Chains A and B, each alone.
Chain A
């Protein structure tokens, strides 16, 4: 190992440095803004992320460098994910502005933490060494722990965060223990060095198996793969909705970016000698899709439903990870494409749910009853999103599933693809239950609406209480005073307030992307192919 110039090409990290500085700047600006102007921080953060994304593309397009003697990689893979994460960041910020104003304190830190977590994700996509990976992962996780707990007075939020951090810390211990075992048997922690060590290895020792098992378990937590998934429903349910969205979309994608690079650079090239990792991941994938989708059947809380459903989706993506192959880009393409498609679709669903929550303060499935009459656009968005998640055309959900499952089948795991398709069928059932509430069930009459609001307020902590009504329009309040009391109100429902422009924009862009990527994914797939070619030798 020759000593390298550790500061060479440092300029390639400009976006990361800038992002860190920008996050700090947000903290600073927060101090100077009056309370009613805190919204500006959100817009500013979003704008900053957009600028940084553009800068990254302009600066880094075509680069393929290793920094810090191979700790970080600047290549098409990391660039792709960088832009992707910043994009998610922008959308999450835009959809949380209203929510934060209505429901959360300390907006400045919220946006700042969010920016830091984006930084963590970017680094995860770049890192090519276990410790670096761990530290970027913790940067993301710490931000998330706080964000999950952000609804200060809300017991659920608090509880979710507590469980999240305890299990998170435990899993870091496990991950690190695995790292130490690998280090003690192979003596290296860089991905490509692990690859070389593995290919030279004659018979792996139990310590190495244990180390790799621990490593995968530690990452499994981050992915929320069964059996390391149990924190997910609680954290999702407890977290404020935008944070739930963020957990479901971004943190998962980042973890997968990390796993992708790890598996592709360290394990895949030695598959012909050493393919046990495939079996492990296949098992995790199979169990995840089955358990996630089955348990989701029994849920009544929207966030929890999405949590379990995301566990199911993790199973699908893990199946894609398992079939990464040295000579074919199909698997890697499938995984990345799936991540993008899944994120876009989830973004639509979550943004619409945030808008719904902003207007009503409700998040149980039956609360959605009659949404198609009360706010048709949101209902349509949720329906499209859920159809897409269940893998029906013309939405992106179908295309990504088809692509990914083809990749899985193509590597000889037809049964796994079959299982994935079957569990997609199960998922259709619970997604349809939600759609049924929105489109088929009649909207609640005005009277019961009010009753539900107050009962929920009583159960919740004071900070959440009566928040939704504070923002409601006059006619919304009017409905509370006179109470028509029959049970099949075809026309007699309470129309919801129109969501804010930012939310509508997010939903609309998401919808367009959902359909466009479902119908014509070729341009995106070209980019995806570039990204996967950067991490796979065969590409």
Chain B
């Protein structure tokens, strides 16, 4: 069976890619997508952990799955909200480029 470490490394890589995306992307929409990636990394981690917790790969602990489902739900709401705000930004300023979104600084 696939060891837990493998899942954890996958999750970590995915999380790092998401984090990189947040920092590297200039479009607000892509940034939000990168965050989604990070949340998925979390989900992978949770589910893998849940399945390995008794050391035999048995479905002994359901908490991980439950948490993952919650996270998926909340993330969906979060994206919806974020998109609404980004949309509003587009209406107000006709841009979603975060380089241009710095009226306020220092």
Contact = CB atoms under 8 A, between A and B. Distances in A.
Interface residues on B, range: 35 or more
B69 to A, nearest CB: 10
A138 to B, nearest CB: 5
A304 B4 CA distance: 46
Interface residues on A, range: 35 or more
23 contacts: A138-B74, A158-B85, A159-B103, A165-B85, A166-B32, A166-B35, A169-B78, A173-B41, A176-B42, A177-B11, A177-B15, A177-B38, A179-B42, A179-B46, A180-B42, A180-B49, A180-B64, A180-B67, A184-B46, A234-B105, A238-B104, A298-B106, A304-B104
A265 to B, nearest CB: 18
Interface string A59-100: 000000000000000000000000000000000000000000
- In order of increasing CB-CB distance, the 6 nearest A-B pairs are A184-B49, A173-B38, A180-B45, A176-B42, A169-B35, A234-B104
B53 interface: yes
A363 to B, nearest CB: 12
A142 to B, nearest CB: 6
Question: Looking at B50, B66, B70, B85, which has the most chain A CB atoms within 10 Å of its CB?
Answer: B85
Interface of B is mostly: helix
B17 interface: no
Question: Looking at B32, B74, B105, which has the most chain A CB atoms within 10 Å of its CB?
Answer: B74
Nearest to A155: B92
A135 B81 CA distance: 15
A142 B77 contact: yes
A153 interface: yes
A292 interface: no
Interface string B80-106: 011001101100110000000111111
A12 interface: no
B76 to A, nearest CB: 12
Contact of A142 (B15, B39, B52, B81): B81
Interface stretch (A144-152, A318-326, A525-533): A144-152
Interface in A119-157: 131, 134-135, 138, 142, 145-146, 149, 152-153, 155-156
Given A177-B15, A298-B106, A158 B88 contact: yes
A187 interface: yes
A233 interface: yes
Contacts of A298: 106
B104 A176 contact: no
Nearest to B42: A176
Contacts of A138: 74, 77-78
Contacts of B38: 170, 173-174, 177
Contacts of B74: 134-135, 138, 172
Given A179-B67, A187-B61, A162 B8 contact: no
A357 interface: no
A158 B28 CA distance: 13
Given A138-B77, A207-B8, 6 more contacts: A172-B78, A176-B71, A177-B15, A183-B67, A184-B53, A187-B53
B64 to A, nearest CB: 6
A153 B86 CA distance: 13
B86 A180 contact: no
Interface string B45-79: 11011101100000001011011001100100110
A345 interface: no
Contact of A158 (B8, B63, B89): B89
